[in-house]
Every structure is written in structure tokens, then in C-alpha cells.
Amino acid sequence: MEGAQAVREALDGDVTVHEVFVTATAADRNPDLLDRAAARGVRIGPVTDEAAAALSETVTPQGLVAVCDLVDVPLADVVDGATFVAVCAGISDPGNVGTVVRVADAAGCGGVVLAGDTVDPHNGKAVRASTGSLFHLPVTRDRDVPGVLDACRDAGLATLVADGRGETGLYDGGLADVLAGPVAWVFGSEAHGAGREVLDAADHRVRVPVLGRAESLNLATAAAVCLYATVAARTPVTCG
Amino acid sequence: MEGAQAVREALDGDVTVHEVFVTATAADRNPDLLDRAAARGVRIGPVTDEAAAALSETVTPQGLVAVCDLVDVPLADVVDGATFVAVCAGISDPGNVGTVVRVADAAGCGGVVLAGDTVDPHNGKAVRASTGSLFHLPVTRDRDVPGVLDACRDAGLATLVADGRGETGLYDGGLADVLAGPVAWVFGSEAHGAGREVLDAADHRVRVPVLGRAESLNLATAAAVCLYATVAARTPVTCG
């Protein structure tokens, strides 16, 4: 993990941090962060600017890098007993994956499954876009998308895939009852959607209504709209 | 406007395109686009790669640049008679402004107001993030945020500002009735929110519920969630 914000979130999150490498300049700038690391028994290794740059993935390194355990857990830890799960099925942009993890956290998902060819959540851009949420809720990786859908179904979750040509509108009357129950939302690739196999395997193919002349929503905003429609369906509303 | 996609959308949109500059390579790649420009009576000017690079804002120019009218219209054209408007009040990231315009288009807003210090919608990144929506619905610019709120109210729109500490939850019972009526949604700056003056002037300060451990949503996803909650509130649902 790289940069003051990500390292701080890792220290405050559920992941094990082994060591923090820090330049003299970064140490001067972040005394509280080093105090926190020390209090948690994390080794602190002073490094030169050159060494910090070599450890960094970014163009302008902040001089602060933490060595952490990988965040991912077994699939069963995410789906078993869950009532609300987000599944990324082939999302290739790290910023999108990080944003979906952040929105899933905010919407109260129990966990996120990164399935198929979805980008590695440990990618620096994904970590930054998640703004700490990667350390807040269980995340799992699994190459086998149909297997993930089966596991969700076995865990009692209805599977809903977001699809611009889906037969069910997000605000169609019947869907609110589905959303109020245990659900796994599946979001496919930016370029190609979820793919035929996933669409066929899911219980519902759900269309976010597009009312104006826009062709579509981008993936992260569509995911936010779907996940929050689930929050809305679970919020008691007085009718009549 | 720069690049094949933006130029195509400008040609298909409501904006006046005066001239298209194109390199020999780009002309070979986009014959349909040039046919369309010619059919609309747009002048086509062949240029060298060097000239195209000089016209470009991007690192890897596509060799295709269109000269268009500015897209913005008077404020009254956006708010008068409208039932659903999005107001950006000090949004500084062009990608965010473009995404909000795209989501506003998809959600069926009648127009978008770019108020206060909001970035110029003609910025290349904003145009690209809007994926054509900048040419689909009326967009206006106005420095005077309180004046924009007054104009919205005078046009009969309830003013709702998205605010993480707002007193009304997005899915609170009473708000659905407000959302079903004429509304202007106001989204403040990424860093500082909408600011005290705007918060005080708005009819409702509305909080997107954050259920997990995420601190907040990013601006574009929060805007998408608010605008689509409005779509949901206007979709007939059977109760009881």
C-alpha cells in the first residue's frame, strides 16, 4: 500500500500490516501515522528517496509504502450467510473496481466478489479509488464466474445482473420484493457487459432505465444506482 | 471538440458545428463521419499531423478536431418550465462534471446548471466523460449560485442539496413526495461540499445513507444515486 491515506486506512482496517517504509521527508510530514504504526507493533524502516521511488508505482512517490497481507478471503467467507453481495464479473479498470468496492461498502454489502478477469484489487489505482473500503469489508477473488453464481444461489442469494437490455426495469413493481430479500448484484465488463453465460445463469437481468438521450451509464454509476436501489427497497416506507 | 467520438456526437447533437479539421490518416479511418459532416454542410479542412497536434489538448491526438459553437444557453432556458434539473455548484474535476451531465441526461433531467466555480464544460475531459450528453440537453453556466437557487425556486422547483450531514435521508418517507414533484438537485464541490450559504438557501439538505464503514461516496456516484432516486419516486409502484 502506498501513500499516506492508503497506509493510514490499512493500519485502521482489518488487514495485517507488516512493515512501513518511510523517507525522512515523509516521516516529518506524518508523525501521527508512524505513531499509530508503532502502537500497532508494525516495523518502521527508514529508506532513502531513491529506495522509496523504486518501491513506488506512481510518478510522484509520497515516500511512504506499507507491506500488507493480501486482503482477499475465501469465497465462502463472503457469500455464506450474506444478504447483500456485489460481484464484479470482468471489470478491467482499477478505478472502477475501487469505486464499486467503495459503493458496496457505503450501501452496506456484506462483501465483494471479484470474479473472472476482474482487475487485481491490490492494484494501486484500485486501492486509491476504494478510499479505504478495500480494508472495510471482505473481498474475494475467483476466476470461475458461473461457479460464483452457483455459490451465491447455494447461499440463498437471488442473482441479479445489471444489463442495459435486461427484461426487468430497476424500478419495476415486482423487483422491490426481490431487492428486499437476500441478493447478489453482478456487474459485467465495461466493454462487453456480463456476457451471455452470466446473463443466462442469473435469476434476473435488470435494466437501469435511461430516460434521456444518453446511450448508457458508466459502470461505476450504474453499480451505485443498483446497489442503492437495494438500500431503498430495504428502507421501510409508509404507503397509502 | 476533439476525437472521432466527440466530433460524431457533436454532429448528431444540437450544437452548431462550423468546420472539421482532419489529417489524411484520420480521414481514411472515419469516412462515415466525414460523409455525415459534408451532408450537414460542415466545411472540412485537411490538415497536416503537425497542425492537428497543435490544435489538440491530448498527448496522442487523433487528427480530428471540430470547431463548434459553445453549448451553453441562458439560465431561463434550463429552469423555466422544467420539472427536473441538476445544478453543479463548484465541481472542479472535469471528469465529474462530464459524468454528472451524462447521468442527468440518462435520468431524464431537462437541463444542467453549472454554477459558481464549476469547471468549463467545454474542457476536453468533461466532453469525453459526458459521452455526448453535453450535446443532448441544455447546459447553462452562471457564477452566482444563490441567484441560481432563486431562479430555480421562482420556476417552481424545490431545491435539494446533497450533503453528507443533511437532516433528511434520501429514502425518508416524506421525501418521495417532494421528489415526485418539480425538483432541482444541487451538488457541491468535491472537497468542501456545497458551502453554508447554499445549504441554508436550499429547501432540503439530503443525506445519501452510508451504512457500512465507508466515509462517503464520491461526487459522481452520489449524484447518480440522488438523480435516480428521483426517477424511482416518479415511477408508479403498487403499494399494499
- pLDDT tens digits, A29-40: 999 999 999 999
Q: Is residue B240 part of a domain?
A: no
- The pLDDT of residue A60 is 78
Residues A117 and A212 in one domain: yes
- The pLDDT of residue B112 is 98
**How close B91 comes to chain A (CA, Å)?**
17
A15 vs A160, residue with greater confidence: A160
Torsion from C-alpha of B105, B110, B111, B113, nearest 10 degrees: -120
Which of A133, A136, A214 lies at the smallest CB-CB distance from B102? Answer: A214
- The pLDDT of residue B185 is 98
The grid coordinates of residue B85 equal 434539473
Alpha-carbon distances, residue A167 vs B125, B225, B234 (angstroms): 34, 22, 20
- The pLDDT of residue B147 is 96
CA angle A193, A195, A200 (to 5 degrees): 125
A59 has pLDDT over 80 = no
The pLDDT-based confidence of A156 (bands split at 50, 70, 90) is very high
The answer to whether B177 contacts chain A (CB < 8 Å) is: no
Residues B64 and B82 in one domain: no
How many H-runs (helices) and E-runs (strands) does chain A carry?
11, 10
Residues A96 and A50 in one domain: no
Q: Does the beta-carbon distance from B176 to A237 stay under 8 Å?
A: yes
For chain A, the domain total comes to 2
Q: Is residue A240 part of a domain?
A: no
> Mean pLDDT throughout A215-239?
90
The answer to whether B183 contacts chain A (CB < 8 Å) is: no
Residues B208 and B141 in one domain: yes
The answer to whether A220 contacts chain B (CB < 8 Å) is: yes
Identify the closest residue of chain B to A103 by CA–CA distance: B217
User: Which of A133, A168, A217 is the best substitution to test chain B (most B C-beta atoms within 10 A)?
Assistant: A217
Residues A160 and A105 in one domain: yes
- B-chain residues within 8 Å CB-CB of A212? 104-109, 133, 136-137
Contacts of A221 (CB under 8 A, 6+ apart): B99, B102, B103, B220, B221, B224
- The pLDDT of residue B89 is 97
Task: Quick: pLDDT tens for B108-146.
Answer: 999 999 999 999 998 888 988 998 899 999 999 999 999
Residues A129 and A214 in one domain: yes
B123 vs B22, residue with greater confidence: B22
B212 has pLDDT over 80 = yes
Q: Does the beta-carbon distance from B136 to A215 stay under 8 Å?
A: no
- A-chain residues within 8 Å CB-CB of B208? 106, 228
A115 vs A236, residue with greater confidence: A115
- How would you list the strands of the sheet with B17-22, edge to edge? B43-46, B17-22, B64-68
- The pLDDT of residue A56 is 84
Residues A58 and A102 in one domain: no
CA angle A135, A45, A125 (to 5 degrees): 35
CATH of the domain at B101: 3.40.1280.10
- A-chain residues within 8 Å CB-CB of B104? 212
B61 vs A186, residue with greater confidence: A186
Residue where a domain terminates, one of A16, A46, A68:
A68
Residue ranges making up the domain that contains A23: 4-68
The pLDDT-based confidence of B90 (bands split at 50, 70, 90) is very high
- A-chain residues within 8 Å CB-CB of B237? 171, 173, 176
Q: Is residue B212 part of a domain?
A: yes
Q: Does the beta-carbon distance from A224 to B224 stay under 8 Å?
A: yes
- The pLDDT of residue B238 is 54
The pLDDT-based confidence of A239 (bands split at 50, 70, 90) is low
Q: Is residue A239 part of a domain?
A: no
> Mean pLDDT throughout B61-66?
89
Alpha-carbon distances, residue B12 vs A49, A140, B2, B236 (angstroms): 52, 43, 15, 33
Residues B150 and B61 in one domain: no
> Mean pLDDT throughout A191-203?
93
Q: Is residue B179 part of a domain?
A: yes
A237 has pLDDT over 80 = no
Q: Is residue B238 part of a domain?
A: no
- The pLDDT of residue B239 is 52
Residue where a domain terminates, one of B51, B68, B85:
B68
> Mean pLDDT throughout B6-23?
90
Residues B112 and B166 in one domain: yes
Q: Is residue B225 part of a domain?
A: yes
- The pLDDT of residue A240 is 42
- A-chain residues within 8 Å CB-CB of B112? none
Other CB atoms within 10 Å distance of the CB of residue A234: 18
- The pLDDT of residue A238 is 54
B162 has pLDDT over 70 = yes
Residues B49 and B8 in one domain: yes
**How close A4 comes to chain B (CA, Å)?**
17
When the pLDDT of each residue in chain B is averaged and rounded to a whole number, the result is 93
Cα separation, B117 vs B95, whole angstroms = 15
- The pLDDT of residue A149 is 97
| Neighbour-count burial of A33, counting CB atoms closer than 10 A to its CB (0-12 exposed, 13-18 middle, 19+ buried) | buried
> Mean pLDDT throughout A172-182?
94
ipTM: 0.89
- A-chain residues within 8 Å CB-CB of B107? 211-212
Rounded to a whole number of angstroms, the CA Rg of chain B reads 20
B182 vs B1, residue with greater confidence: B182
- The pLDDT of residue B240 is 43
Q: Is residue A238 part of a domain?
A: no
Residues A126 and A203 in one domain: yes
Task: Quick: pLDDT tens for A65-92.
Answer: 999 888 889 999 999 999 999 999 999 9
Residue type, B27: A
> Mean pLDDT throughout B189-209?
94
B8 vs A86, residue with greater confidence: A86
The answer to whether B48 contacts chain A (CB < 8 Å) is: no
Smallest CA-to-CA distance from A219 within A132, A137, A103, A140 is with A103
The answer to whether A191 contacts chain B (CB < 8 Å) is: no
Q: Confirm if B194 and B187 have CB atoms less than 8 A apart.
A: yes
A188 has pLDDT over 60 = yes
- A-chain residues within 8 Å CB-CB of B212? 104-109, 133, 136-137
A24 has pLDDT over 90 = yes
- The pLDDT of residue A123 is 87
Residues A18 and A110 in one domain: no
Residue where a domain terminates, one of B34, B50, B68:
B68
